């Protein structure tokens, strides 16, 4: 009897020891998992910081190029309410200082020096629907493709720029969703002005149409317009940071004000699902698509 009890106790002790060893082994596994996660998080943070540094470096390089070309982002504008409202006022430098015709300076030098703007991973290849071109995934809808290389290449460059900007703005302290949307728009406008893409002069960013000045009755502003070599608008770009896109009626109204027909695409670049939802900036896919009839 005593032997049986001893055997049973011994068995239970062995069982407990085995279970203890298993628990220890599982704990070690969990510890290893946590260590891996920590390393991954640290790597992610370093990647983010590197991306921000690369973007900052690119901005500095663009600023240098722009200065050479005479673009001064701090140059004042004539306030709204007058005939010249919104146009560059005095105080600019170099080429952009002076006459109205000079205000649309094409910064061709910039594109030569930086054929692949804003550290794009991709060169000026043909856009492939569904392909991803920047850190934040970009989804090109087939409707955004025109088959015209100048437009398609610009679409790709602007989408890459916007995706990178969003990556950088994501690291800013959290704003309200509305402020965050403004920050993305503001940074995008400033960067595109400085980029000097072929066909997009600084004055083609937030351009006034439908009136002599922004403030005239019925005047509207587009985010970015692309022009051909003779100065005609060949594409209109609109950035959307919110939940909703451009209404077709709005697209038609924009075309009317810009004075173009349905052959000119209105290309919407939007972060669907709301990049700013719930006050937490998330890396969302950038959707690029044409709006309205083309």
Partner 1 sequence: MSMEVHVFSDRRLNSIAEWQRAIDTEQFQLRLAGDVHFADASGFLPATLEGQQTGFECYHDDAMETMRFLGVSNFTQFWKYALGFRWGADFSTLEAVWMAATAYADATAGIIFDHEEGRVFTPKQGRELIAKFISERPRIKAFLEDRERRLSIKP
Interface residues toward partner 1, by CB under 8 A: 56, 59-60, 63-64, 67, 73-74, 79-81, 172-173, 175-183, 185-190, 194, 206, 210-211, 214-223, 238-244, 246-247, 249, 274, 276-277
Q: How far is the CB of 147 from partner 1 (least distance, A)?
A: 26
Please tell me the distance from the alpha carbon of residue 256 to that of residue 47, in angstroms, as a whole number: 45
73 by DSSP, 3-state: which?
coil
Shortest Å distance, C-beta 63 to partner 1: 5
Q: Could you identify the residue written with the tokens 């509207």?
A: 220
Say if residues 172 and 183 touch (Cβ distance below 8 Å): yes
Give 20 or 279: the residue with its C-beta nearer to partner 1: 279
Measure the CA angle with vertex 17, ends 14 and 23; round to 5°. 145
Q: What is the DSSP string of 77-126?
A: BPPTTSTTTTSB-S---GGGSS-TGGGS---HHHHHH-SSTTT-SS-SPP
How near is the Cβ of 225 to partner 1 at its closest, in Å? 13
Q: How far from the centroid of its chain's Cα atoms is residue 110's Cα?
A: 20
Q: Judged by CB, which is closer to partner 1: 148, or 243?
A: 243
Name the minimum Å distance from CB 26 to partner 1.
44
Least distance in Å: CB of 22 to partner 1? 49
In the complex, what is the shortest distance from the CB of residue 252 to partner 1, in angstroms, rounded to a whole number? 12
User: How many CB atoms neighbour CB 142 within 10 A?
Assistant: 10
Q: Which is nearer to partner 1, 18 or 112 (CB)?
A: 112
Contact assessment for residue 200 and residue 226, using Cβ atoms and an 8 Å cutoff: yes
Q: Which is nearer to partner 1, 79 or 91 (CB)?
A: 79
Q: For residues 54 and 122, which CB has a smaller minimum distance to partner 1 in the complex?
A: 54
**CA within 13 Å, CB half, 106:** 12
Residue closer to partner 1, measured from CB, 73 or 130: 73
- Which H or E element spans position 205? strand 205-209
Question: Which residue's CB is nearer to partner 1, number 90 or number 173?
Answer: 173
Beta carbon of residue 277, minimum distance to partner 1 (angstroms, whole number): 7
The sheet with strand 138-140 has its strands ordered as: 138-140, 286-291, 266-271, 233-240, 220-227, 205-209
């Amino acid at each position: 009897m005593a032997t049986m009890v001893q055997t049973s106790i011994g068995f239970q002790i062995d069982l407990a020891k085995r279970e203890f060893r298993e628990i220890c082994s599982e704990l070690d596994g969990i510890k290893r998992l946590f260590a891996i996660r920590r390393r991954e998080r640290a790597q992610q943070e370093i990647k983010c910081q590197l991306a921000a540094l690369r973007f900052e470096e690119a901005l500095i390089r663009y600023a240098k190029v722009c200065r050479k070309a005479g673009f001064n982002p701090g140059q004042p504008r004539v306030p709204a309410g007058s005939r010249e409202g919104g146009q560059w006022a005095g105080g600019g430098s170099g080429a952009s200082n002076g006459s109205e015709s000079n205000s649309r300076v094409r910064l061709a030098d910039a594109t030569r020096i930086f054929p692949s703007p804003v550290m794009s991973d991709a060169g000026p290849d043909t856009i492939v629907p569904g392909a991803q071109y920047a850190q934040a995934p970009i989804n090109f809808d087939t409707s955004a493709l025109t088959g015209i290389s100048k437009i398609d290449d610009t679409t790709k460059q602007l989408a890459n720029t916007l995706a990178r900007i969003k990556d950088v703005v994501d690291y800013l302290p959290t704003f309200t969703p509305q402020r965050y949307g403004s920050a993305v728009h503001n940074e995008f406008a400033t960067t595109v002005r400085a980029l000097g893409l072929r066909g997009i002069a600084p004055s083609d960013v937030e351009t006034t149409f439908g009136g002599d000045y922004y403030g005239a009755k019925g005047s509207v502003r587009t985010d970015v317009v692309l022009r051909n070599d003779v100065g005609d608008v060949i594409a209109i770009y609109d950035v959307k940071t919110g939940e909703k896109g451009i209404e077709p009626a709005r697209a038609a109204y924009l075309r009317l004000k810009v004075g173009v027909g349905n052959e000119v695409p209105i290309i919407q670049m939007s972060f669907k699902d709301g990049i700013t939802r719930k006050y937490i900036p998330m890396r969302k896919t950038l959707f690029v698509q044409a709006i309205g009839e083309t």
